[in-house]
Amino acid sequence: MTESLGSLPAYLLRNSHEFADRVAMRHKDLGIWREWNWSEVADEVRRFSIGFAALGLKRGDKVAIVGSNRPKLYWAFPAIQSCEAIPVPVYADSVAEEMQFVLEHAGARFAVCQDQEQVDKLLSIQDRLPDLEAIVYDEPRGMREYDPEKVVAITRVQELGDEIIQRDKDVVQRWSDAVGELKIDDMCVILYTSGTTGRPKGVMLSSRNLIQTSINANAFDNLDHTEETIAYLPLAWVGDHVFSYTQSLVAGYSVCCPESLDTVTVNRREIAPTYFFAPPRVFEGLLTSIMVNMEDAGRVKRWMFHHFIKVANKSGERILNKESVNPFSRLHYKLGDWFVYGPLKNRLGMSKVRVAYTAGEAIGPDIFRFYRSLGINLKQLYGQTEASVYITAQPDGQIDADTVGTPSPEVELRIEDNGEVMYRSPGVFMGYYKNDLATADTKTPDGWVHTGDAGFVDDAGHLRIIDRAKDVGKLNDGGMFPPKYIENKLKFFPNIKEVVAFGDGRDYVSVFINIDLTAVANWAERNNIVYASYQELAGHPEVYQQMEEHVRHVNKDLASEARVASAQIKRFLVLHKELDADDGELTRTLKVRRKFVNERYAELIEALYSDKTEQFVSTEVVFEDGKTGRIDATVKLATVELEPVREELKQAS
Amino acid sequence: MQLVKRGALLASVAFIGSLAAPIVQAQDTLYMPSLTYRTGPFAGGGTPFADGYADYFAMINERDGGINGVKIVVEECETAYNAQKGVECYEATKGNGALAYSPLSTGITMALIPKAPVDKIPVFSMGYGLSAAAIGEKFPWTFTYPTSYWNQLSSILKYIDSNGGIEGKKIGYIYLDVGYGNEPIPVLDQLAEQMGFEVAKFPVGVKEMQNQSSQWLNVRKERPDWMIMWGWGAMNPTAVKEAAKIRFPMDRFIGNWWAGSHSDLNPVGEAGTGYLAANFSGIGTQFGALEDVIKHVVDKGESKVASKDTVGNVLYNRGLFNAVILAEAISVAQEMTGKKVINGEDMRLGLENINLTDQRLSELGLADFTGPIKGSCSDHEGAGSIFIQQWNGSDWERITDLIAPMNDVVRPMLEEAADKYVSDKPDWQTQACS
Amino acid sequence: MFYREAGQYKTSYAADQALLPLAQDRYGIAIVLFTAFVLIPFFGTSFFLVSIMIPFLIYSLAAVGLNILTGYAGQLSLGTGAFMGVGAYACYKLTTYFPDVNIIVHILLSGVFSALVGVVFGLPSLRIKGLYLAITTLAAQFFLEWCFLRIRWLYNYNDSGAIEVPNRDWFGITVTGAEASPVARYFLILTVVAVMTLIAANVLRGRIGRGWMMIRDMDIAAELMGIRPLRAKLSAFAFSSYYCGVAGALMVFCWLGSAEVESFDINHSFLILFMVIIGGMGSLTGCFLGAAFIHVLPVVMRAVPSMLGWDILASTVEHITQIVIGLLIIFFLIVEPHGFARLWQVAKEKLRTWPFPYAT
Amino acid sequence: MQELIHSLTVAPFMEMGQYPDFLIQVVWEGFVAGILYALIALGFVLIYKASGVFNFAQGIMVVFSALVLIGLHEAGMPAWIALIATIGVMGILAMGIERFVLRKLVNQHDAILLMATIGLTLVLKGAGQLFFGGETKSMISDELGFSSGAYDWEVFDGLVIFQHIDIAAAVIAVLMVIALSLFFSKTRIGRALRAVADDHQAALSVGISLNQIWAIVWFASGIVALVTGIMWGARSDVSFALEIIALKALAVLILGGFTSIAGAIVGGLLVGIGEKLFEVYWGPIFGGGVEAWFAYVLALIFLLFRPQGLFGERIIERV
Amino acid sequence: MTVTPDVDNKAVLLSLENVTLSFGGVKAISDISFNILEGEIRAIIGPNGAGKTSMLNVINGFYHPQKGTITWRGKRRRRMKPYRAAASGIARTFQNVALFKGMTTLDNIMAGRSLKMKRGLFWQMLHVGPAREEEIANRRHVEEIIDFLEIAHIRKQPVGRLPYGLQKRVELGRAMAMQPELLLLDEPMAGMNLEEKEDMSRFILDLNSEFGTTIALIEHDMGVVMDLADRVVVLDYGQKIADGTPAEVQSSQEVIDAYLGVGH
């Protein structure tokens, strides 16, 4: 374990000596990539910091940082931290009211904003923010009319710093000394979690949390000062804070800020990062656009693409994992790399990626494997703000789409009886800001933290997250019933749109399936299957047959895992109508309203737990013009043979 | 798109092929490139000439099995009377062991004259090209047998003089306004002074060849006593027609030897009756050599002539004559060097020492075909004579004996011109003749 | 596919505005230059150099000249041949007056005369546009042709009416005239063409070139942006004619060795125009592609029958070649009116976006 | 210097006065040449009006049509049948050009269309030489019934010679123009053609497709080319050198305007007569051969003062 | 005509007096006088064919009026070529986008910098030293405009392929690049959707307030005009029928009759 320095600004100072001429930050601005090396960054930060202090920033003050990924906003962190004040990054896309809560709760005295838009937002709520004294901004456009006392440009703050340095040469030394004296266990940032329910909570992280986590993470993936990464995720999100700020400081690698959110793809291609993070939806979106684009390609090219993707599917991951592969396949793959994978990675800007992570939610195994088969070292990690991100991560070469990896260095893991995952690590947060109650709920006195997720550790020692802990139910035989886990597994099939699983307090698991009309209709067309309506298509025997195969597939998966082996799907039906937000079956964000579905389709659910092979149902629906009507249908119920569970697994459970 | 690609591919394959496999001549042949123009506005003249040239060599190969047993390979390259393409043809063929070039174009000849000493391949411009090249000391590599433009002009003037005197007369000179037509002007001016006649010049632009009414209006305005024409290609029939239109007496209108062929007067027909032209190669097929050509080549269908009627016409015979001189030079060279397969340098030697006496001409089956030609180190034109022929409405008739040139007047001028040509070329290759 | 752009980022405007911002293009050009400067002189036969490479380069240069005027400044010209002639005659006069001055200086100076003549004949362009202008350039063509013939001073009163190129040295190596070796001539031409193409590229991407393109694309808007139409058009005429003039001088001095009026006739103007159109208006690469195509195709076509052992009259081949070129021109205009350059651009775009059909 | 001015400004006119018969002869020659220029220009105008194509191939069409006529006659066809067959060939050519060239190049830039016709020129040139040979041929004027004699007019103590063929050329040209005017004003297709020049949509409403119209105008100008070829060929034989003379029609177009039939005729005569006078009376001062550029330079000077041509309309630029 | 309070404390930038313009007897503009003050946004409105575009053409020297005087910054202006007008600080955009179709967005805006670039042929040929410095300095300026107009993502795209709204934006950028004192906008929002119109209005306002550029614009959308303009002049059949603040103009009976009454 490397001996750590006492604070993040201290790392900045170290880098300014050790990597003085290496590029610390790039920003595409006015058409070109502007670069700052570490000593320049240190200088910028120093002037910013000294100027900020002159504005009245002092120990313990909270400073909100609002905006997208801009160098100056990143510099605001160490500038503030070296004054022993605490930066509080805020989601830039929040509306004024949300911001008001955070700023008010944190009691921010200052705010650092990116541009006029953010400044205007804050000014619109300033009467409700008595603590807010001044706003510092980056981009001067449109700012000339504002009160120069209250709204100050960062450049002006830096000039202020310059003036002070001019007057008093020692101030630089004093500032450096002060940085050296920062305490490692002091709070250094408050990150507000965007809680899905209730008010956001301010997670207080100490320097030690972040520094130790960063050291561990860098060591885990062998990240050093040669890495390049592109910063495009929200500043206020812990992931960006760690990847683009703390890990960069600790390792000394460069961070590149894109020109704007519209140009991330292009900018990523220009930079070709070596270390890259994106949430699953980004990878999903990219894959979809790849596929859509390839549909427009010429026949030969399309054939070639699909051919080589197949090749990659066969041997790509094994080659990436450095397993033994026969020379012919290796050559075949090499060819594919020349014709398809290489150019593809090039277009995606991932040619140089050494380590790419995805996290946040489950990623479809096919999507995950697709990228890996191209030779991109995409891995999953499992983390939380409260853990300074890392709880588990997949080590190189031990990758499985269904797991989130082994515990990260210095992280201890345990699974509660109810299946909830608990952890303890150097990154564990200090507590929620001004919310001891919540802190006590989440963090045990001996430092263990509740994740709120249910999961289990498989034979290989990898953690599998199956669901939110509170949603996990129990079958009558005592087996675990993780509905989301099962639903997600089915939903990864492209022709399944929505799944609702039942089983809590029942003998076995059964599911409602909603087919994906576009995908299935496409399939029907290709196979000359005639149908008049969604209902007819949904009830088509061949569709049932397909769904049965999917279910079997999922069952096989489930059967291989002791903890969930008993949650195999025994019966299923394909719903005769699409679950619809207009009918109240889905939320407006398209999440299933379980309760409502349970009530509405009670007959069907009961039928699933009987011997019936079909069930008549009549449902009231709302048409697009607002009128209501009824749909009558007789829905077929299918039974699936369960997969045998291996004995040793049974015993293990 | 697909087609384009394939086309490009084919083209590039063919192209690479053409680079990789230059046409290689067998060791025991004599390679004789033929720069022809069977296309373009001058094709009418170029075609029969090229046919005569090729057919004679073909006949020699067929009848005698080549020259002293070595077959001659004739390869044509199309120049379209264009200097640029001519140079391309030269570059493309010179590497194959070419023995001599006869481009039948003053423009191309000009381009080749400086190249000849470098590549050591003689240029034989039979009665065209640079008149000054007659001076062998200054132009070791160029030959203009049997006569140069300048000497020829003097012969024509002699003819005029002998038909009613030339002194005090006005001579109109209508010419194709390119190097070819401009070439004899210095002599014309000089002789006008010496012989005491007046000159009126009427240039015809290449683009105006078929639209000469202005020139002939000017002729009408100037009212010359005689007209001399230095024309070529489509210019000739148009000129004769225009002359007829303004009622210019045809028997006072003399063309040079490039303005007196069947292709020139056939389109004019009756209207051209009486028109005169200079010539130095026999008309008709009544010569032994031509009979052999018909027998061995034309009748066997080996000739490229459009119809048998072409054989024996003026330009066909001139092309043939060109080949005769080259063939003779080859045999002289073979004799002098003792080699059977000769090279360009040997060929130069052969050309320089050519001696076509009447007797030799008879041997070749060309008695009365032309006058004797004898070359020497210093004399590269042979100062041969010409005769005058007249159009009778459907064919040419020879109406005079050979008319010798005014060599005494012209030779000094040629020397002067040769000196001038060489003067601004410090490293020009010359030769000393004792 | 070959274009792996990831990681090529620009940290300065200078780099962003470089002629070849993509590394792969730079490698490509390096290979081309290596081939041109090293491989071809080393392995090329004399025939290849003299009949293919030298004319190809000279035509390319002339095409660059015409393309500047027609493709970039939008002024259609049919007088290229004559402007080349002005250069050739000027060079001839210069080198006879100043035989001791390095020939390369003369060649480069001769373009100045051609530029001056170009400016004079460009004057009508202020008032005349499009096809009308093309016809006034035809006036330049015919008038100049007439001058080349009539003004005997231009060819030093040579009886032949032709320019005869003397041997001239460049640093001790004969580069013009009959004694110049093909390789020496090739190097001279190659150097001139390479440097002048680079200069053209520089001018075209700068203030002046942009002014031309503005006039081409929307002359009224250009004027309202402060471009003086007369100055822009005349400068285009001058610049373009300069290139044509130098090409003409090179053509006569380093290729043909002698020239008469007919070397600069209207057919030449058309030939160069074909190259520009087939190659692609408004593209320097296109000039080279067009020149290669139009020049090399006939050479290949001539070679094909004899290679295959067919006994076809040279004239027949010539006529067929003419028909084929005519048809190909029509075909290309139909398939890709923007010429090879566009095909290349599309291909490059495809390679850049590979495996995708278009950029996303 | 004074002498030069004299020879430029006074002498020519004195000469004209001195020999008026000769002047008449010069003007007549110019007039006949002008008629032929006008006919070629007419071919250009027809096509330009209807399709906006600047047909560079008009010149070669003249040569080509004449060659076809002669070639067919040589192949044994009686003259008049050969003439009809040639018209047929020109018709097929027109349809071919419309079908395989124009239709595919609709809406392309002017320069592209121009280039396509230059490509066409190459094709026709190659084909003409391939099938009929490159040598000069004489027109079968006798066989077509043209007399080769001349009419002498003795006047001003001199003689003016009018070739029958020239008179015939003038008459035929006039008839041709009248026929075309009637065609344009009296027939349905003709009106459609005029409409298409103004507005493509309007033409469609007449019920004739644009494609048909194009084929028809190309055919019409093919016939004009054939007539020109016959007349010119009868005067001074048929060869490919004629093609370059045809370029002069471009200068004629500048004078007359691209779209005016009257302009083509007036411009043609202006160029024809002008260049003859200039060549005969002023040419010798410059060493002759000024005809080669007179027309173009005249056009150039003219353009500077009246860019829209004699009969064109003034162009007002709009923003 | 009421005098708006601004007139007193703002300098007159351009004034037209009794200007008359006719084409072959047809009067496009007859006897119109009005002025544009420094720093204001001046709208010219009127029904189709009212002579609005002709007015702009007169101002930037494209048409030369037969009668009347034009005073630009206190100096009476003689017949002026458009490029001279451009050099004296007048820029404009066009009703139908008149971009340089063969060039990219960047080059189009760079084209607007033509007057600011001076380096001669020699340096241009070498493209080093001063010419490159000049190019780069201007590029920087252009980049600021690109940033201002939020068109970074189309920087290197040929303008021909851009959607109409973006083309209009590029055209505005090109005019901005000239750093004009007076910017003439000919229907800057024609054919735009609501969102694009809002963006464009914002840019025009920002441009006016940030850089102090005086703007004269022709616009059909009355709502936009009322929001943007400081003063409005109304033309009808080549004649001026009203001049004043938006409110004044809106309440003028003549305007309501001639313009709003006609409805379109």
**Residues of A with Cβ-Cβ distance to E144 under 8 angstroms:** 30
CATH number of the domain to which A35 belongs: 3.40.50.12780
pLDDT of residue A296: 80
Structure confidence by residue, pLDDT tens digits, A91-137: 988 888 888 999 999 999 999 999 988 999 999 998 999 889 999 99
**E106/C contact by beta carbon, under 8 A:** no
Within-domain flag for A264: no
The domain in which residue E133 lies consists of: 99-178
Rounded distance between C-alpha atoms, residue B158 and residue B194, angstroms: 12
CA distance D136 to chain C (A): 16
DSSP assignment of B110-155 equals HHHTTHHHHHT--EE-TT-S-GGGGBTTT-TTEE-TT--HHHHHHH
Q: Is residue A274 part of a domain?
A: no
Any bridge partners for residue C79, and if so which? none
Separation between Cα atoms, residue A84 and residue E124, nearest integer Å:
54
* pLDDT of D4: 79
Domain final position from E156, E178, E200: E178
What distance in Å separates residue A70's CA from the closest CA in chain E? 15
> Do E74 and E111 have their domain in common?
no
On whether residue E160 sits in a domain, the answer given is yes
Residue predicted with more confidence, B373 or A42 = A42
The answer to whether chain E touches chain A by having 3 or more C-beta pairs less than 8 angstroms apart is yes
Q: Which amino acid is located at E166 in the chain?
A: L
pLDDT of residue B8: 43
Q: Where are the beta strands (DSSP E) in chain C?
A: 163-164, 168-170, 173-176, 258-259
HSE-up (13 A, CA, CB side) for residue E107:
25
Nearest to B95 by CA among A17, C45, C155: C45
Question: Looking at the structure, do residues E171 and E239 belong to the same domain, yes or no?
Answer: no
Say if residue E260's pLDDT is above 60.
Answer: no
Token pair recorded at residue A432 = 């929620």
Assigned domain for C1 exists: no
Q: Which of residues 217-246 of B touch D (CB under 8 A)?
A: 217-218, 220-221, 233-234, 237-238, 241-242, 245-246
- Residue with token string 């007209």: B227
Per-residue pLDDT at D266: 87
Residue C79 lies in a domain: yes
Q: Is residue A312 part of a domain?
A: no
Domain count, chain C: 1
Q: Are A437 and A582 found together in one domain?
A: no
Q: Is some CB atom of chain C closer than 8 A to the CB atom of A336?
A: no
Say which CATH number the domain at A392 has.
2.30.38.10
Asked whether the beta carbons of residue C220 and residue E62 sit closer than 8 angstroms, the reply is yes
Count of beta carbons in the 10 Å neighbourhood of residue C267 = 14
Cis link prior to A258 (omega < 30° from 0)? no
Q: What is the pLDDT of residue A81?
A: 95
- Going by C-alpha positions, the residue among B100, B120, B96 that lies closest to residue B26 is B96
Average pLDDT over residues E49-58: 85
Q: What is the predicted pLDDT for the residue at A2?
A: 53
Assign E164 to helix, strand or coil: helix
What pLDDT was estimated at residue D250?
80
Domains, chain B, in order of start with CATH, read 22-147+284-375 (3.40.50.2300), 149-279+388-406 (3.40.50.2300)
Shortest distance, CA C118 to any CA of chain B (angstroms): 23
Please tell me if residue C359 touches chain E, with a CB cutoff of 8 Å: no
Question: Which one of E130, E160, E178 terminates a domain?
Answer: E178
**What is the reported pLDDT for E143?**
93
Judging contacts by C-beta atoms under 8 Å, the chain A residues touching residue C354 are 343, 347
What's the structural domain count of chain E? Answer: 2
Q: Per the domain annotation, does C10 fall within a domain?
A: no
What are C95-141's pLDDT values in tens digits? 888 888 888 999 999 999 999 999 998 888 877 777 778 878 888 88
Taking Cα atoms as reference points, which of B36, B23, B306, B318 lies closest to residue C314? B36
d(CA C282, nearest CA chain E) in Å: 9
Q: Residue B10 pLDDT > 50, yes or no?
A: no
Nearest to D157 by CA among D308, D24, D310: D24
pLDDT digits (tens, 9 = 90+) for B32-43: 999 988 877 788
For chain B, give the mean pLDDT. Answer: 84
Cα gap A232→A270, rounded to integer Å? 14
Distance of CA B430 to the CA centre of its chain: 24
Give A125's contacts (C-beta < 8 A, 6+ positions apart).
A96, A97, A99, A100, A103
Q: Does C22 touch chain D (CB under 8 A)?
A: no
CA distances (Å), C146 to each of C79, C86, C140, in order?
13, 12, 10
Closest partner CB to B47 (pick from D22, D135, D239): D135
* Domain residue limits, chain D: 2-305
- Show the tokens assigned to B234: 């489509």
With respect to residue E94, please indicate whether it lies within any of the assigned structural domains: no
Averaged in consecutive runs of 10 residues, what is the pLDDT profile of chain A (653 residues)? Answer: 80 94 93 93 95 92 94 95 95 86 93 92 90 92 84 94 92 92 92 76 94 94 94 92 94 94 89 92 86 84 90 87 87 91 91 91 85 92 92 90 90 89 93 91 92 88 87 86 88 86 90 88 84 88 92 88 85 90 78 86 91 88 77 89 72 52
Q: E110 and E66, same structural domain?
A: no
Q: Would you place residue B211 in the very low, low, confident or very high pLDDT band (cuts 50, 70, 90)?
A: confident
In a domain, residue C229? The reply is yes
Task: Say yes or no: E160 and E198 in one domain.
Answer: no
SS (H, E, C) B277-343: EEECCCCCCCCHHHHHHHHHHHCCCCCCCCCHHHCCCHHHHHHHHHHHHHHHHHHHHHHHHCCCCCC
Give the domain-ending residue among A221, A250, A279.
A250
Q: Which of residues 243-262 of A touch E (CB under 8 A)?
A: 259-260, 262
- Nearest chain E residue to A265 by CA: give it: E153
Structure tokens at D223: 């016939």
Domain boundary among E128, E159, E178: E178
Evaluated on CA atoms D31, D32, D36, D39, the torsion sign reads: positive
Sheet containing strand A509-515, strands side by side = A496-502, A509-515, A569-574, A628-639, A614-622
* DSSP count for chain B of H helices, then E strands: 16, 13
B-chain CB neighbours of C319 within 8 Å are 39
Residues of chain D with pLDDT under 50: none
Residue range(s) defining the domain that contains residue C159: 22-353
Q: What confidence score (pLDDT) does residue E6 get?
A: 47
CATH number of the domain that C65 lies in? 1.10.3470
Range of the structural domain that residue A439 is part of: 381-471
B12 close to D (CB below 8 A): no
The nearest CA of chain D is from the CA of B212 a distance in Å of 9
The answer to whether residues E60 and E1 belong to one domain is: yes
Residues E1 and E85 in one domain: yes
Q: Are residues A454 and A513 in the same domain?
A: no
**CB-CB: which of A30, A144, A266 is closest to E144?**
A30
Q: Is there a domain that residue E114 lies in?
A: yes
Please count the residue pairs, one from chain C and one from chain D, whose beta carbons lie less than 8 angstroms apart: 134
pLDDT in tens, chain C (360 residues): 678 888 889 988 888 888 888 888 999 999 999 999 999 988 888 888 888 899 999 999 999 999 999 999 988 888 999 999 999 999 999 988 888 888 899 999 999 999 999 999 888 887 777 777 887 888 888 889 888 887 888 888 776 677 878 878 877 788 887 778 889 899 999 999 999 999 999 999 888 999 999 998 888 889 888 899 889 999 999 999 999 999 999 999 888 888 878 788 888 898 899 899 889 888 999 999 999 988 888 888 877 777 777 777 767 887 888 898 889 888 888 888 888 888 888 888 888 888 888 776
The pLDDT tens digits of the residues spanning B238-256 come to 899 889 888 899 999 999 8
CB-based contact, C135 to chain D, within 8 Å: yes
Which of E62, E63, E80, E83 is most worth mutating to test chain C (most C CB atoms within 10 A of its CB)? E83
Task: Among C96, C278, C318, C324, pick the best mutation site for testing chain B contact (most B Cβ within 10 A).
Answer: C318
Side-chain-side CA neighbours of residue A136 (13 Å): 30
Question: Is the CB of residue C228 less than 8 Å away from at least one CB of chain E?
Answer: yes
d(CA B214, CA D289): 9
The number of domains in chain A is 3
Q: How far apart are alpha carbons A264 and A243 in whole angstroms?
A: 17
Asked if residue E261 and residue E143 are part of one domain, the reply reads no
| A360-418 confidence digits (pLDDT tens) | 878 888 889 999 999 999 999 999 999 999 999 999 888 888 889 999 999 999 998 88
Omega into B146 within 30° of 0, i.e. cis?
yes
Closest in C50, C258, C335 to B91, CB measured: C50
Nearest CA in chain E to C239: E121
Q: Where are the beta strands (DSSP E) in A469-623?
A: 473-474, 480-481, 496-502, 509-515, 569-574, 614-622
pLDDT at E204 over 80: yes
